[in-house]
Amino acid sequence: MTTTDAPRRLRVRVDPIRCTAFGFCAEFCPEMFDLDEWGYAWLKDSEADDAAAQLVRETARLCPRRAILVEEVAPAERPVSGTPTQTQNGGLRQWLHRNNP
């Protein structure tokens, strides 16, 4: 009997310090990225599957500030609920502001 490894996924993050609101990510990959009211990037989803992997990697490569971080993770590693990438209505910068007095 043969076993196959489960497909690996990409974990995607936006560095809020490096992001300077160019907005290219939302243009190149609107499935994963959106912009807040000031033009800063936030993620619609913190993980990308195999189908989106190439586009996400290319988007990270094209970011002029290198603010998009991509890492390969095993399927068992899932983001913790309530992490900044999963917040709604404001994205990572506002989450950081609320949680770092």
Q: For the chain, what percentages of helix, strand and coil (3-state, to nearest 5) are there?
A: 30, 20, 50
**What was the pLDDT predicted at 50?**
87
Q: Does the residue 1 lie in any domain?
A: no
Q: Does the residue 78 lie in any domain?
A: yes
CATH (domain of 92): 3.30.70.20
Instruction: Please give the tally of structural domains in the chain.
Output: 1
**Rounded Cα–Cα distance for residues 27 and 79 (Å):** 25
Q: Does the residue 4 lie in any domain?
A: no
**What was the pLDDT predicted at 87?**
42
Q: Does the residue 3 lie in any domain?
A: no
**What was the pLDDT predicted at 19?**
96
Coil, strand or helix: which one is 68?
strand
pLDDT digit string, tens, across residues 58-84: 999 999 999 999 999 876 655 555 555
pLDDT digit string, tens, across residues 30-62: 999 999 999 999 999 999 988 899 999 999 999
Q: Does the residue 36 lie in any domain?
A: yes
Place of tokens 């190149």: 28
Q: Does the residue 2 lie in any domain?
A: no
**What was the pLDDT predicted at 88?**
46
